[in-house]
Every structure is written in structure tokens, then in C-alpha cells.
Structure 1
């Protein structure tokens, strides 16, 4: 990690250390994870603390590897202070969207940095929409903006079908926050990459419409 930006190292450590403690300390884990009943009873800090805990080592490694690959792209372009803004806002907005969809499920619990990491991923893609990414089982590189659109469309599908033990709503909310904040910070992207911005916004608009129509 010696070549990483200091803020990237700090965020990774802020995830790794509490997660490792949570693996061996169920009381600690239960005290700080996202839980609807606890949040409704006033423990709003869980909306933040749950973003630094993970269910197992695979969950932790996947999120930290994604952060490792994309964090410095964002930091190098907009600076560490705005990187932190996007990270924290994506974490909170991801959990806020999760709360909205599960607010009537008192036993619903979740944890993980996926919302925050999704925000950083989407910010990186928006800053460099033509970047080439490799996806599992696809032997050729795919343009970043195509990956981004597919990611959100799959998240909508996952939310609608309750697919797997995955917080698709937190992923979506985090990515949407990263998208919106990056556009606010770099409005020139809207002029330079108008078509791509519109395409990347389609899943966000689609979720809003589906929610209004009661389709999700």
C-alpha cells in the first residue's frame, strides 16, 4: 500500500480494523451494524458505523480491492477532501435508501462499505467514462460507463427480486450519490460528455419512477 494516497490507506484501515474485531466479537458487531429496529429507536449512528463493518473476509476483501483500484483515480482528479465527501455521502445515502425500502422490516440488518465504495466507483467512471474495465467471465475490456449503467440496472433487478443476501439498495444509493456529487463538483462533464451523463442517469431516473409507481 506504499504507493497509495494517505487518505486511501486511512479509509482501508478504518474498514479493516473494525471488521476484524467484528469477526470475533458478535456483541461489537451487533452494536454497530445497520438495523431497522435499533435505528427507529434512536440509534442513528448505525447509519454511519455499519459502513465500516463486514460480514466475512471475502466481503471485506472485495470492497477493499475495489476501493484500492478506484480511490486514487478520484483523489488524483478532485483531491482528498472531495474524495472523503463522496465516500461519506455515498455511505450515508446508500444506507438512507436502504432504510427507505426496509423501514417496515424491524429485523432487517446490513453492514459493509459497499455503498461508499459504489459511490467512489461511479465517481471514477464519471470522471473517466472511457476507461476500460474487465468483468468476470467477459474476456474483453468494457467501457466504464457501460459497466456503470449495467451495475445500476442489475441493482434495480436485485432490489425488485430480493436477490441474494446483498444490499442492492445501498449499492444503488451510494452509486447515485457518487454520480450526483461528482457532477456538482465537475459540471463541465455534463457539457463534455452529455450523452454519457444522460445514459448513466437513466437507471437513477428509472428507480425513481418505479418507486413512485409502486413497482419496487
Structure 2
């Protein structure tokens, strides 16, 4: 890896910003990804700034080591500009998927460069599907197989929510990176079609599924503590809770910008909810 490569600069920025966050909690809170701050207060910079913060040294060092391992050969092939485009797409794409999945959890927050790192990793798989990937004691496997395995693992992690890992950011970032790589190098669609389909189709299918079946997400909250099936009463209460949160956002917007700031759709929602 070149001394002044984009990946080296990104590693330096991650360390610098994260260290500031370690020392200054107010700085950390000001730039971390938080649902309420983005959706209600429109603080969209957090979609980017949160990717340079980490919760501690182990989190930071593991992410930076992963970025170092996967970035060197990829940046030398695609160039610094395209590398930065893919990294940024993964950073934002991961947070956007988290934003959608946790849109009814206003206190949900997250930090870390994982979405961007998985964008680099999955874009490398799209360009070099035969590459071997292995971690520590695990044997190296073809890149496309690793991508498929991790997509399935991420889907399971998103639905089960049995740990504190941001599986949604990983999946969103990885898919964004792969899609941008294809846009930058459309010849990959023909040359590496098998790897692209094997990795991308399950991820896209899952995202489309939760768009139309949001209750399939068994995310830990008041109604999903034990991941039990929803009763009719649960569904009614969950719907009322979501409507109340939508109404609160509309009232907050009116408070900040006035009622004239509401769109036609928002006015109709306000009229309907007021009933």
C-alpha cells in the first residue's frame, strides 16, 4: 500500500476522529449515527461522520486492519478516485439500510466504518470473484462463496438480532459497494455474472422482502422480546405506535418550520392521524 494512498489517508482519518471521540463524549454524540437525529432533525451529515467513529480501540483496530488487508490490491487496480467512490457508497449505503430497518427505534445509534469496509470487500469480490478470503484460523475460500455466506449470515443476524453487531450496515454497505463496482465496470456483468448473481440476488431479495413485509424483521423491541409470532392485538398496537411516531415527526416539523413546510402527502397524513 502506497504511503499516500486514499486507503492510508482513510485509515489515518478513522484513527484521528475515533480518538477524538474516545476523549470527548460530546463530540462522539454530535457525529454518531442516530435514527432520531437523522429523521426528525434532518442531520444527514451523520450518515457519513458516524463511519469515522468507533466505540473503542478493539473496534477501531479490527476495522482498520480489515481495511488495510482488502484495500491495497483493489486501490492499485481501480485507482484512488473509484476506490473513494466505492468506500463512500458503502458508508452511506450501510447507514441507509440501518435507517430503514430501525426507523421506528428513535434511540438506535451506531458507529463504525464496517459498511464502507464491506463495500470494499464486496466490490473486490465483484471484480475478482476467484480471490481467496480467509480469516485467522478459518481456511481460505473463493470470494464469491465468502460473499454468499456473509450475506446469509447478515440476513440471519438482522432478523434474529441476537448480538450488538450492525449486520444491516454490513449488508447495506456490501451491496452498495458491489452495485457501484458494477456501474464503474459494467463489463463485470458478463465476465463475473455467476459471482454477482450468487451474492447480490439473496441480498436484494431480502431487502425487497422487508420492504413489503416489515413485520418479518424480528428486531428486539417491545413486541418482539421473545421473537414470538404477532397476535392481532400486537399488530394493532404496533401499527398505532408507528402512527404515533409518524405524527410526532410531523408535529416536530411544524414546530420547526411551520405548517406550510408540509408536503401534500404529509398534510393528508396529518389529517388522517388527527381523526
TM-score normalised by length of structure 1: 0.94
Distance, in Å, in 1 between the alignment partners of 2:195 and 2:36 is 40
1:52 CA displacement: 0.3
Partner of 1:117: 117
CA shift digits 1:73-113 (9 cap, x unpaired): 22112111011111111101110110011111111010000
Partner of residue 37, structure 2: 38
Separation in 1, partners of 2:66, 2:31 = 23
Q: Who is 2:11 aligned against? A: 12
Aligned residues: 214
Which runs of structure 2 are paired with 1:1-216 in the superposition (5 Å)? 3-4=2-3, 6-39=5-38, 40-138=40-138, 140-211=139-210, 212-214=212-214, 215-216=216-217
Contact 1:5/1:72, CA 8 A, preserved across alignment: no
1-side partners of 2:28 and 2:204: how far apart?
A: 35
The runs of at least 4 consecutive aligned structure 1 residues that moved more than 3 Å come to: none
| Cα RMSD after superposing both structures | 1.4
Shift of 1:42: 2.1
Higher Rg of the two aligned structures: 2
Measure, in 1, the Cα distance between the counterparts of 2:141 and 2:4: 26
Give me the TM-score of the superposition, normalised by structure 2: 0.74
Q: Tell me, in whole angstroms, the C-alpha distance in 2 between the residues paired with 1:69 and 1:4.
A: 15
Gaps spanning 5+ residues in structure 2: where? 218-275
**Structure with the larger RCO, 1 or 2 (CA within 8 Å, 6+ apart):** 1
Shift of 1:129: 0.9
How far did residue 155 of structure 1 move?
0.8
Q: Find the aligned partners of 1:209 and 1:35 in 2 and give their Cα distance.
A: 24
**Paired residues of 1:4 and 1:72 also in contact (CA < 8 A):** no
